[in-house]
Amino acid sequence: MNLATVINTLSAGVFAGALAWALSWPLLWSAPYLRLKGAFADLVPTVPGEAARRELRDADRDLSLLCIAACAALAAYAALLVYGVARLQGVWMWVLFGLACALFVTWCVFLVRVSLRWRRCRYAAHAHGALASTLGRLALQGHRVFHHLVLGEVTVDHLVMGKFGVFAIKLVARRPGKLGNISRINGRSIEFQDGFALLDTIALTERSARAVADMQVKGLSHRIHVQAVVAAPGWEIAPPQGQVGEVILINEKTAVMLLRNSKPAYHLMDEDAVVLQEHLARVCVNRGL
């Protein structure tokens, strides 16, 4: 087998993989729109980690497309090595081979990026599920948990409400590293043992709490106070440092003790709790089912 045949085979395999990706991409992207939507849109509530699982499905689809293209390229390599002959010679052979090399490098870059994104989305989906499972135990204490509450431009990941008050929870899905798994609140930031710090998460969580407190709910006797909570599943929680506000830091294990942080002034009257619960049940509906 001469050099021209090998180069033609490599180029043909890469272009065959790119063609398989181009043909598979619209099929996989259009498949979700073929489902029957809206049949029970007003009856099905949102579920924990809905947005995280949607991102994970998107990453799954992108990763599957790249794998389909890789399989098509390998199949083309094998077929052309057995049956193929050199179709191009000279300058055109090297031009197409250069394009194939550039396409292969781009392919590898996308594969690495999508794999990292898939790993990140997978951890986020697991983190939401673990936290929601713990929050569900608060129902034994007469509290209701809502998930993925969209209020204009603000999205509240989890919302706990009941006679002990209202808690707006923002989840930080960050995988613990080898340098440790301890996190704490330090002033207006959240610090992790590996040296990473989140500088705006507390401000965003407080914004979410204000958005919930500003909801126009007919029948409430007064404006409710909403406590801001940041959840970091997988991380151990250390005592806070610096000048700490009212933001609470929890993980999937300490979430069950969330109600202990409520002050008597933040408690809800039974009438207000019923009205607020009915309003949230109407708001937290999965419209895309």
What spatial distance separates the first Cα and last Cα of the chain, rounded to whole Å? 56
Q: DSSP alpha helices (H): ranges in the chain?
A: 3-30, 50-83, 90-135, 201-213, 270-283
Q: In angstroms, rounded to a whole number, what is the distance separating the alpha carbons of residues 118 and 126? A: 12
pLDDT digits (tens, 9 = 90+) for 63-73: 887 777 777 77
Query: What number of CA atoms fall less than 13 Å from residue 170's CA on the CB side?
Result: 24
Q: In angstroms, rounded to a whole number, what is the distance separating the alpha carbons of residues 182 and 240? A: 11
DSSP 254: G
In single-letter form, the type of residue at position 197 comes to: A
86 — pLDDT class (breaks 50, 70, 90) = low
pLDDT at position 42 is 61
pLDDT at 38 over 70: no
Q: In angstroms, rounded to a whole number, what is the distance separating the alpha carbons of residues 12 and 157? A: 48
pLDDT at 181 over 60: yes
The answer to whether the CB of 160 falls within 8 A of the CB of 143 is: yes
The answer to whether the CB of 237 falls within 8 A of the CB of 258 is: no
Lowest-confidence region among 10-24, 155-169, 244-258: 10-24
The answer for residues whose C-beta is within 8 angstroms of residue 196's C-beta and 6 or more apart is: 174
pLDDT at position 34 is 58
Neighbours of 3 (CB within 10 A): 9
The answer to whether the CB of 167 falls within 8 A of the CB of 159 is: yes
pLDDT at position 289 is 53
Q: In angstroms, rounded to a whole number, what is the distance separating the alpha carbons of residues 147 and 151? A: 12
91 phi, psi to nearest 5 deg: -65, -45
119 in helix, strand or coil? helix
5 in helix, strand or coil? helix
Mean pLDDT across 2-14? 73
Q: Where are the domains of the chain?
A: 3-132, 141-283
Q: In angstroms, rounded to a whole number, what is the distance separating the alpha carbons of residues 111 and 187? A: 39
Q: Hey, what are 256's tokens? A: 């069950």
Query: What number of CA atoms fall less than 13 Å from residue 106's CA on the CB side?
Result: 11
- Going by C-alpha positions, the residue among 113, 106, 128 that lies closest to residue 48 is 128
Token look-up 């000048």 returns 243
List, as one string, the DSSP characters of 138-193.
GGGGT-EEEEEEEETTEEEEEEEEETTEEEEEEE-----BTTB-EEEEETTEEEET
Mean pLDDT across 34-55? 66
pLDDT digits (tens, 9 = 90+) for 252-269: 888 888 888 888 888 888
pLDDT at position 261 is 82
pLDDT at 23 over 80: no
Mean pLDDT across 30-41? 59
pLDDT at position 83 is 54
pLDDT at 154 over 60: yes
Q: In angstroms, rounded to a whole number, what is the distance separating the alpha carbons of residues 251 and 92? A: 60
